[in-house]
Structure 1
C-alpha cells in the first residue's frame, strides 16, 4: 500500500501523505474514502480486515500509517483539528512524531489510535466511535 520510508512525515506533510494514501487505495478499488465521518466505518472495516488475516503488525505498518494519516485528516477537515509535530515528551508518550490539536487545545494521536484498533479489533476499538465521542471538536463541521 505504499512505502512510508525511513523518515516519517512531519505535520506539514500529513495532508499530502493522507491524500497519497487515498489515491493509492482507491485506484484499485471503489472504497468511499471521502474524508467524511461516515468513511471512518470503512477504515474500521479495513483495519479489521488486516487484523483478521492474522498478519503481524510489522507487515502492515505502512498501511496502518496511511490509515492513521487518513483518520487524522478527517479530524482536520471535520472537527477543526490541525496537524502538529509532537514535542519530545509527547513523541515519547504517543510513540509517533505527529498528531492533531483540537480547537480547544487537546492533543490526539490518530496514528496510534489506528494501531490500537488493529491490536484490539473493531469490536473493542472503533475509529468512528472515537470520532463521535472525541472531546474538543469544533461544534460544526469545518468542511
Structure 2
C-alpha cells in the first residue's frame, strides 16, 4: 500500500521532537475546529475516521467557492490537527514538533503530516480520510 500524497515524513527528525508539549497546540487547534464546525456549520465531528469524509468535503467546498488560501489557513490547520488527533486516538500515536512544524508519530515509527495534508486537500491534491486510512493500516513485514 502506498502512502497518500507527500505528507508521510521519514523518521529522521523524530528524535528532535518533544512530548507532551508537542501535543498542546495541535490538540487545541483540533478542539477549536470541532467547536467552530458545530457552532458555525452545524457539523458534528466526533474524532472518528468516518468524520474525515465530512472534513474532506468541507475543504473541497471551500476550494470550490474560491476562498483565498490565506483566509482559510487557520481552518486548514485546525482540520489537519483534527485528522492528526483521529490518528492519535486510533493508533496511540503521539504528536511531535520541531521548528514550528507538527507531525503525528504512529507506534510503528512513521511520521505523518496531517496539517500539510489539509493544505494539499485544499489544493485538490490530498485527502485527510486517505491519510488516516494509510496511517492506521497495519504495516507489512519488511516494508
Provide the TM-score with structure 1 as the length reference.
0.73
CA–CA distance in structure 1, aligned partners of residues 137 and 95 of structure 2: 14
Cα RMSD after superposing both structures = 2.2
2:114 to 90, 110, 113: 110
Name which of 59, 62, 80 aligns with 1:47: 59
Change (3 A) 1:103 1:117: same
Question: Which position in structure 2 is the counterpart of 1:80?
Answer: 92
CA shift, 1:29, in A, is 3.3
Q: 5 Å matches for 1:25-64?
A: 25-64=37-76
The structure whose RCO (Cα within 8 Å, separation 6+) is larger is 2
Q: Partner of 1:99: helix, strand, or coil?
A: strand
Gaps of 5+ in 1: 1-8, 89-95, 139-143
Displaced runs of 4 or more, over 4 A:
135-138
Q: In structure 1, what is the equivalent of residue 32 of structure 2?
A: 20
Query: What 5-or-longer segments of structure 2 have no aligned partner?
Result: 1-20
Paired position in structure 2 for 1:5: none
Of 103, 112, 124, 1:99 maps to: 103
Residue 135 of structure 1 deviates from its aligned partner by 6.2
Counterpart Cα distance in 1 of 2:28 and 2:52: 19
**C-alpha distance after superposition, 1:56-113 (max 9, x if no partner):** 2112111111111111111111122111112x5xxxxxxx611110101111100000
Q: Aligned residue pairs: how many? A: 119
Indicate the SS of the match to 2:104.
strand
Corresponding residue SS for 1:133: helix
Change (3 A) 1:40 1:135: closer
By how many angstroms is 1:15 displaced?
Answer: 1.4
Q: CA deviation at 1:23?
A: 1.1
